[in-house]
């Protein structure tokens, strides 16, 4: 496979806070093709967030590798990974918005390094916010947003640059049913744009929906494909 | 708009979101440049000005020394003796000394039209009973009359004042007719205070000293122009040393500023980690740091440099003499030489900007190779 994302025999050990290493991911092997949405379910502490972070090259796997469009990105140096991440959109489990910025400015952040006229950047950010039903909050500071609004702002930020790889960690955990529908629509649009989409969740509204093309379950760090 | 312009615009907008911190940094950098720049600029300008003015003086000055110190020189035999030294082309017998005028000391000099000029701009020739005084010395005149007290007392009419642009060396000077000066200083008839020599090649002045000393039947001390300039310069440097004490708090402030900028906070690293996660490179963050902090620093230090120039190089300033030099008997107006000021200001700007820019870049470069998820505050997995 040339395009898409795959992980080969990937493992991750992290300190457990008591001076020992804990195996968070074990021998994870999977293929995430473009234009398809992969849903990774799992209990709390199963390693879903770690999986997202390794796939996005925020942390290095302790074994195996991550290959994006046939390039071993997990083995690259950090500066190269930083540049590769311009094609990546990440929505963290916690929104991680910059508090001193407005919602619109937070959404604009991934666009700034690309350059362009400020009005164009602003317009693209507004469009991304409109897709998630939060355009009316553009002037509010991040601190003024509710949990659900902040989460959708973070997803708008992840999608604003039309990334080739989208990673969303529990994107509906703070959403009501309308909000969850908007999130599903936005992720569905990524599929149409042929992005690789990996979503972790334990929300039944996503698990039971028709959104995912592939389903996985993470159990004790092992990724199992579901029918 | 190219990427770096976009990043720079973002950085400046971000700076404006924190006006308090922005103002504090700007004021600190501005003050640092002024506190460091004014003494450095002043010391350089004073030395350069003195060197320029003294350049028109004699190549060598001969004084007679004895057990009691300086002694009067018998003019005619001394002039004859030194005129025979090969290389000496002109000899000027000078009458001068320090006397009191009201409550302040002034330097009295006897000059005649054919005497040439003791300093660069003094084309004056006072008649008997008249005086031409520097700006500070002129302040002790009462009703247009200078009352001078030396070996004898003398009252003379203040006929004119000297050009204030030479105040740096002539502020306390009183020029008199030679006979008035001789009488005031108590010099015997036919005696002078020293001899000012002009030599054929200034570069040979040092080499002529043994021959000149040999020419007199009494012990003599010979000073070159270079030594006079050095004495002035050393005097300014000595005073400048006290002035440089002001640099101590400046250095302390700079250290604090640099330490504050260089010490990455958990919040800063967390934000940098987030930006990297969102596709920003280390280069992008460097541009933002430099554009944001750099523009503030350039504006603040530029303003500081400008104020330093205005404070030191504005024609006719009085404050340095009042504040730093405590010149006796009033404060001369200073018309200081601006040559070399740009180089001095560049040194000051480098002194402030290099450590500050380094401090801005240090946290970014330190974490350049750290994966975003492993940066402090960026380890979001646990």
Residue pLDDT, tens place only, B270-283: 888 899 999 999 99
Over the stretch A83-107, which tens digit does the pLDDT of each residue have?
999 999 999 999 999 998 999 999 9
Chain B closest-CA separation from residue A115 CA (Å): 4
Residue B130 and residue B236 in one domain: no
Nearest 5 degrees, angle CA A212-CA A218-CA A220?
A: 175
A53 contact B CB<8A: yes
Residue B346 belongs to what domain range? Answer: 2-53+232-368
**Of B9, B371, B381, Cβ closest to residue A81:** B371
- Interface contacts (A, B; CB < 8 Å): 97
**Of B5, B279, B380, Cβ closest to residue A110:** B279
Over the stretch B126-166, which tens digit does the pLDDT of each residue have?
888 999 988 888 888 888 899 999 999 999 999 888 877 77
Where does a domain end: B160, B186, B212? B186
Residue A66 sits at φ, ψ, to 5 deg, of: -110, 130
Which pTM was predicted? 0.72
pLDDT at A51: 94
CA distance A36 to A197: 6
CA distance B191 to B289: 73
Q: Report CB contact under 8 Å: B279, A58.
A: no
Instruction: Enumerate residues 91 to 120 of chain B having a beta carbon within 8 A of any beta carbon in chain A.
Output: none
B170 lies in some domain: yes
Could you tell me which of B347, B331, B33, B374 has the C-alpha nearest to residue B168? Answer: B331
Nearest chain A residue to B271 by CA distance is: A98
Q: Report CB contact under 8 Å: B9, A118.
A: yes
pLDDT (mean) for B328-344: 79
Residue B47 and residue B135 in one domain: no
Chain B closest-CA separation from residue A11 CA (Å): 14
Residue B270 and residue B345 in one domain: yes
pLDDT (mean) for B95-102: 90
CA distance A167 to A183: 13
B92 lies in some domain: no
Where does a domain end: B171, B186, B201? B186
B307 lies in some domain: yes
A11 contact B CB<8A: no
Q: Say if residue A190's pLDDT is above 70.
A: yes
Residue B256 and residue B354 in one domain: yes
A71 contact B CB<8A: no
pLDDT band at residue A148 using 50, 70 and 90 as cut-offs? very high
pLDDT band at residue B269 using 50, 70 and 90 as cut-offs? confident
pLDDT (mean) for A213-220: 93
B374 lies in some domain: no
Among A153-157, A184-188, B57-61, B257-261, the range scoring the smallest mean pLDDT is B257-261
B311 lies in some domain: yes
Residue B176 and residue B291 in one domain: no
A44 contact B CB<8A: no
What's the complex ipTM? 0.93
B159 lies in some domain: yes
**Of B5, B274, B368, Cβ closest to residue A79:** B368
pLDDT at B15: 85
Q: Say if residue B119's pLDDT is above 50.
A: no
Mean pLDDT, chain A, integer: 93
pLDDT at B123: 57
Residue B238 and residue B364 in one domain: yes
Residue B364 and residue B240 in one domain: yes
Q: Report which DSSP code applies to A213.
A: S
Class level of CATH domain A34-60+77-216: alpha beta
Q: Residue B262 contacts by C-beta under 8 Å, 6 or more apart in sequence?
A: B358, B359, B360, B362, B363
Residue B181 and residue B249 in one domain: no
Over the stretch B354-380, which tens digit does the pLDDT of each residue have?
988 888 888 888 877 777 777 655 455
CA distance B379 to A122: 30
Q: Report CB contact under 8 Å: B277, A58.
A: yes
Percent of chain B scoring above 90 in pLDDT: 31
B108 and B186 Cβ atoms separated by less than 8 Å: no
How do strand A165-169 and strand A88-91 relate by DSSP bridges? parallel
**What residues form DSSP beta bridges with B194?**
B94
B182 and B172 Cβ atoms separated by less than 8 Å: no
Residue B294 and residue B174 in one domain: no
Which residues on B lie below 8 Å from A77 (Cβ)? Answer: 369
Chain A closest-CA separation from residue B19 CA (Å): 12
The secondary structure element, H or E, covering residue B269 is helix B266-277
Both structure tokens of A90? 């990440």
Residue B117 and residue B47 in one domain: no
Q: Say if residue B328's pLDDT is above 60.
A: no
pLDDT at B120: 43
Chain A closest-CA separation from residue B358 CA (Å): 20
Instruction: Enumerate residues 28 to 87 of chain B having a beta carbon within 8 A of any beta carbon in chain A.
Output: none
Q: In what order do the strands lie in the sheet with A63-68?
A: A21-32, A5-15, A63-68
Nearest chain B residue to A52 by CA distance is: B381
Residue B239 and residue B179 in one domain: no
Domains of chain A, by residue range, sit at 34-60+77-216
Both structure tokens of A150? 């902040």
């Amino acid at each position: 496979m040339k395009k898409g994302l795959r992980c080969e025999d990937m493992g991750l050990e992290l300190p457990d806070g008591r001076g020992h290493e804990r195996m968070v991911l074990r021998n994870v092997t999977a293929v995430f093709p473009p234009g398809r949405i992969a849903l990774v379910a799992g209990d709390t502490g199963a390693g879903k967030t770690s999986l997202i972070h390794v796939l996005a090259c925020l942390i290095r796997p302790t074994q195996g590798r991550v290959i994006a469009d046939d390039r071993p990105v997990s083995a690259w140096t950090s500066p190269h990974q930083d540049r590769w991440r311009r094609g990546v959109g990440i929505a963290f489990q916690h929104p991680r918005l910059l508090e001193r910025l407005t919602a619109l400015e937070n959404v604009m952040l991934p666009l700034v390094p690309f350059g362009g006229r400020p009005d164009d950047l602003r317009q693209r950010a507004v469009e991304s916010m409109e897709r998630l039903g939060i355009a009316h909050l553009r002037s509010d500071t991040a601190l003024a947003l509710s949990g659900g609004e902040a989460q959708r702002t973070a997803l708008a930020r992840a999608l604003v640059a039309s990334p080739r790889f989208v990673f969303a960690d529990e994107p509906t955990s703070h959403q009501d049913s309308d909000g969850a529908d908007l999130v599903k629509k936005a992720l569905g649009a990524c599929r149409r744009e042929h992005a690789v989409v990996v979503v972790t969740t334990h929300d039944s509204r996503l698990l039971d929906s028709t959104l995912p093309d592939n389903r996985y379950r993470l159990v004790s760090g092992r990724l199992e494909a579901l029918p | 708009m190219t990427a770096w312009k976009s990043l720079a615009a973002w950085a400046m907008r971000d700076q404006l979101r924190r006006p308090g911190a922005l103002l504090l940094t700007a004021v600190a950098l501005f003050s640092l440049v002024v506190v460091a720049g004014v003494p450095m600029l002043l010391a350089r300008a004073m030395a350069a000005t003195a060197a320029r003015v003294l350049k028109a003086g004699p190549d060598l000055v001969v004084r007679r020394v004895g057990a009691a110190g300086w002694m009067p020189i018998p003019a005619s035999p001394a002039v004859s003796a030194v005129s025979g030294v090969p290389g000496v082309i002109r000899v000027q017998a000078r009458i001068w000394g320090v006397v009191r005028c009201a409550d302040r000391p002034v330097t009295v000099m006897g000059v005649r039209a054919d005497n040439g000029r003791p300093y660069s701009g003094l084309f004056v020739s006072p008649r008997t009973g008249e005086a031409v005084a520097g700006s500070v010395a002129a302040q002790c005149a009462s009703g247009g009359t200078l009352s001078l007290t030396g070996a004898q007392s003398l009252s003379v009419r203040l006929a004119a004042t000297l050009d204030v642009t030479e105040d740096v060396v002539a502020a306390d000077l009183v020029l008199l007719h030679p006979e008035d000066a001789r009488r005031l200083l108590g010099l015997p008839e036919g005696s002078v205070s020293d001899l000012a020599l002009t030599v054929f090649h200034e570069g040979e002045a040092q080499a002529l000293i043994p021959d000149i000393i040999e020419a007199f039947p009494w012990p003599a001390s010979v000073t070159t122009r270079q030594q006079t300039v050095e004495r002035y310069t050393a005097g300014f440097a000595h005073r400048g040393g006290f002035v440089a004490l002001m640099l101590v708090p400046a250095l302390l402030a700079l250290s604090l500023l640099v330490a504050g900028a260089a010490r990455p906070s958990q919040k800063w690293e967390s934000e940098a980690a987030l930006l990297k996660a969102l596709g920003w490179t280390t280069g992008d963050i460097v541009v933002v740091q430099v554009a944001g902090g750099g523009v503030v620093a350039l504006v603040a230090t530029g303003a500081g440099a400008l104020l330093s120039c205005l404070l030191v190089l504005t024609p006719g300033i009085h404050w340095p003499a009042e504040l730093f030099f405590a010149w006796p008997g009033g404060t001369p107006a200073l018309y200081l030489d601006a040559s070399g000021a740009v180089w001095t200001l560049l040194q000051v700007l480098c002194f402030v900007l290099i450590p500050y820019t380094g401090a801005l870049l240090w946290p970014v470069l330190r974490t350049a190779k750290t994966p975003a998820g492993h940066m402090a505050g960026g380890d979001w997995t646990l």
